[in-house]
């Protein structure tokens, strides 16, 4: 690919003892793209992508200028662009067909007399096996081992095929079962916030650019909390991206969500995300980017941001983006990223105007809404959909109201369970599962669950015999910190 450089954006920067090529937004602004420093952070990521891939054919000078024009039309011009994510994330259900297609292409290449080893993904692809576990056994010390054993029995052929794929293809890696949920593995390990690669077309140095991705799971947006622009797509779109094809998309509207204040003690990230989701669904953000800004970000942990990003499918947005800030650097450091990479993230983000600080000016948005974090109260989702919210203090009254209205049921007497000495009825909890990636990614929520279990254990409480319990830690890190805090024993003790 022959690259153009219409706005003289291709520059170099040195971080530590290494020099990188990058596409400077500041230089592009000087050379014709006036005002782009006022763009939302997420739009700056799209703009950099177009500057880097300008070839006069799939990305033209006019396409790039259209992003600068966003400041005038705020995304309402319906202009198409060709966007190329840095990498692809897959889970096992959608990943297997992709590997089958790659294998079929190799067969075709061989039949045509070519070298089948030339068929490989053109961008890095990570496949995380996380959607196959079934909770067959629960409430016993051997439940996890038994469930994993059954998982391998059921899916052994599939896993052998994926293991072959990892060794056969370049740019393709597989995270084995039992490691964690794909989104948390992505957050804790795979994502780099700033990506690098060799590209001789751009010069002798490695190219540095924002970490971006598409994933074959709707909650790929969780990684937006780490300032990584990503969202869920279908399998065909993911395969196209995997083979180096651009994703055609409209330049989006960007809704700014201003956060002020600070969350009160006893209020969790789950309460916050249910409130945010309720507000955004009322506003209407389908097909739009949502970007969070404001002084309240100073009081949100990165894990809280990831929880909010995770729920983007529920509030209907393409993504729920948070910019790079000091907490991003702290998270990258504590999660074991290379110090040189963390230094690059800081230097690159600041050079590109992509680093948020407390006194940073607010970007320009298509429209905005605002939430004072101190007004968020404990809530639960329901009565039917995960995006619906009920204030916890009103749960009993709301259930009594929803039983006839939403479910067409009356307060029938309890029904005796055959072979057991108990009866169950409407409103009885029968499943207690800590499995959602929205919750298992957040240490404060998981530790709170462990503390509740500890208090219940101290009081001699236990689960009812009709309740099926399960805990699916989002990653091995979750298991480690629950164990280190002594909370895993308390969770195990109550089933």
225 close to 192: Cβ distance less than 8 angstroms: no
Whether residue 439 has pLDDT greater than 80 = no
Query: Dihedral (C-alpha) 273, 279, 283, 289: value to the nearest 10 degrees?
Result: -20
Could you write out the three-class secondary structure of 393-435? Answer: HHHHHHHHHHHHHHHCCCCCCCEECCCCCCEECCCCCCEEEEC
3-state secondary structure (DSSP) of residue 215: strand
Average pLDDT over residues 387-416: 87
Rounded to the nearest 10 degrees, what angle do helices 302-310 and 326-334 cross at? Answer: 100
Average pLDDT over residues 181-208: 88
Whether residue 370 has pLDDT greater than 70 = yes
Query: What's residue 440's pLDDT?
Result: 75
pLDDT band per the 50, 70, 90 thresholds, residue 79: very high
- Residue of 492, 454, 460, 458 lying closest to 473 (CA atoms): 492
The reported pTM is: 0.92
Q: What is the C-alpha to C-alpha distance for residues 70 and 118, in angstroms, rounded to an integer?
A: 40
Q: What is the C-alpha to C-alpha distance for residues 283 and 286, in angstroms, rounded to an integer?
A: 10
CA angle 321, 308, 178 (to 5 degrees): 105
- Residue of 479, 480, 414 lying closest to 144 (CA atoms): 479
pLDDT band per the 50, 70, 90 thresholds, residue 82: very high
3-state secondary structure (DSSP) of residue 81: strand
CA angle 454, 460, 466 (to 5 degrees): 95
Query: What's residue 479's pLDDT?
Result: 86
Q: Residue 235 contacts by C-beta under 8 Å, 6 or more apart in sequence? A: 94, 97, 98, 216
Whether residue 16 has pLDDT greater than 90 = yes
Q: How far is CA 198 from CA 20, 123, 195, 209, 454, in A?
A: 10, 12, 11, 11, 51
């Amino acid at each position: 690919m022959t690259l153009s450089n219409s706005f003289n954006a291709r520059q170099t920067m040195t971080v530590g003892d290494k020099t990188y090529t990058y596409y400077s937004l500041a230089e592009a602004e000087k050379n014709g793209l006036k005002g782009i420093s006022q763009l939302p952070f997420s739009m700056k990521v799209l703009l950099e992508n177009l500057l880097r891939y300008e070839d006069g054919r799939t990305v033209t000078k006019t396409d790039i200028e259209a992003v600068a024009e966003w400041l005038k039309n705020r995304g309402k011009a319906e202009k198409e662009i060709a966007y190329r994510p840095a990498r692809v994330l897959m889970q096992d259900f959608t990943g297997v067909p992709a590997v089958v297609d790659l294998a079929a292409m190799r067969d075709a290449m061989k039949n045509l007399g070519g070298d089948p080893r030339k068929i490989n993904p053109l961008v890095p692809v990570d496949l995380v096996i996380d959607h196959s576990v079934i909770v067959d056994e629960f409430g016993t010390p051997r439940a996890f081992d038994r469930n994993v054993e059954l998982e391998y029995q059921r899916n052994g052929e599939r896993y052998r095929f994926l293991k072959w794929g990892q060794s056969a293809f370049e740019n393709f890696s597989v995270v084995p079962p039992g490691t964690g949920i794909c989104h948390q593995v992505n957050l804790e390990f795979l994502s780099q916030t700033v990506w690098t690669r060799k590209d001789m077309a751009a010069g002798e140095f490695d190219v540095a650019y924002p970490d971006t991705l598409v994933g074959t799971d709707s909650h790929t947006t969780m990684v937006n909390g780490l300032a990584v622009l990503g969202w869920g797509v279908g399998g065909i779109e993911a395969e196209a991206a995997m083979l180096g094809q651009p994703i055609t998309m409209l330049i989006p509207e960007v809704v700014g969500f201003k956060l002020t204040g600070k969350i009160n003690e006893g209020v969790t990230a789950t309460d916050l995300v249910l409130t945010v989701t309720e507000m955004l669904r009322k506003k209407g953000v389908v097909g739009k980017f949502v970007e969070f800004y404001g002084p309240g970000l100073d009081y949100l942990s990165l894990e809280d941001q990831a929880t909010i990003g995770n729920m983007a499918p529920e509030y209907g947005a393409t993504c729920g983006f948070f910019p790079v800030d000091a907490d991003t650097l702290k998270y990258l450091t504590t999660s074991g990223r290379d110090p040189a990479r963390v230094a690059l993230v800081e230097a690159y983000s600041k050079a590109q105007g992509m680093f948020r600080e407390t006194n940073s000016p607010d970007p320009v948005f298509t429209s905005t809404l605002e939430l004072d974090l101190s007004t968020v109260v404990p809530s639960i989702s329901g009565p039917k959909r995960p995006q619906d919210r009920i204030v916890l203090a009103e749960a009993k009254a709301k259930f009594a109201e929803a039983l006839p209205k939403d479910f067409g049921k009356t307060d029938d007497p309890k029904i005796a369970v055959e072979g057991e000495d108990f009866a169950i009825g409407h409103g009885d909890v029968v499943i207690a599962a800590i499995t959602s990636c929205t919750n298992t990614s957040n240490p404060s929520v998981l530790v709170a669950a462990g503390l509740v279990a500890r208090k219940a254990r101290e009081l001699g409480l236990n689960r009812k015999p009709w309740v099926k319990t399960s805990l699916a830690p989002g990653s091995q890190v979750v298991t480690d910190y629950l164990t280190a805090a002594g909370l895993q024993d308390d969770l195990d003790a109550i089933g």
